[in-house]
């Protein structure tokens, strides 16, 4: 199986390895990309790796994934809790979307417990740190093998 998957990171993820390493770890965004490419190759996935701190740019990237990929792994970061625009963009694409967070937002500050994406993504992974990206890649590969129809639906059979 070969599937094209976009991996999109939201605000502050470009600072991975520097920003609060006691919370987010010491792996940089470029190191994460390298790790993901290795894991993806083992799964027969081709990755497009993108990051932006800008809400509108993330919306454009999500639309691009919907037009040019079979799946999307999205870490919307802080926009998870605030952005209706990103929620609407995810709802508008007809591919499986796996939401990922390095930490478990439900175990953090109360404002992080509001998730505007939860009901429009196919699946979610949280709290596994960098290894969560490996889990997300395994999950998206399984969804693609199962004939995922997008928007939370699996084709029977």
Could you read off the pLDDT tens digit of each residue along the chain, which spans 157 residues? 569 999 999 999 999 878 777 777 789 999 999 999 999 999 999 999 999 999 999 999 999 999 999 999 999 999 999 999 999 999 999 999 999 998 777 656 676 668 899 999 999 999 999 999 999 999 999 999 998 656 554 444 3
Q: Which residues of 52-78 are buried (b: 16+ CB within 10 A; e: fewer)?
A: bbebeebbebbebbbeebbbbbbbbbb
Give the E-state strand segments of 23-120 in sequence order. 45-51, 71-75, 97-101
Q: Looking at 24, 79, 133, 148, which residue is catalytic?
A: 24
Please report, in angstroms and rounded to a whole number, the separation of the first and last CA atoms in the chain: 17
The verdict on domain 3-154 having CATH code 3.30.390.50 is no
Q: Looking at 79, 101, 133, 148, which residue is catalytic?
A: 101
24 is catalytic: yes
Task: Label the pairing between strands 3-9 and 97-101.
Answer: unpaired
Task: List the chain domain ranges.
Answer: 3-154
CA distance 35 to 59: 25
> What's the pTM?
0.88
């Amino acid at each position: 199986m070969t599937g094209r998957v976009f991996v999109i990171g939201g605000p502050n993820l470009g600072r991975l390895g520097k920003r609060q390493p006691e919370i987010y770890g010491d792996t940089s965004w470029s190191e994460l990309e390298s790790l993901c490419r290795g894991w993806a190759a083992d799964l027969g996935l081709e990755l497009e790796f993108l990051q932006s701190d800008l809400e509108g740019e993330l919306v454009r990237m999500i639309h691009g994934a919907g037009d040019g990929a079979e799946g999307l792994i999205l870490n919307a970061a802080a926009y998870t809790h605030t952005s209706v625009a990103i929620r609407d963009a995810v709802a508008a694409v007809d591919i499986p979307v796996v939401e990922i967070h390095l930490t478990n937002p439900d175990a953090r500050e109360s404002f992080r417990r509001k998730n505007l994406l939860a009901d429009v993504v196919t699946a979610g992974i949280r709290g596994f740190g960098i290894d969560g990206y490996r889990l997300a890649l395994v999950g998206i590969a399984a969804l693609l093998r199962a004939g995922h129809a997008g928007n939370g639906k699996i084709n029977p059979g």
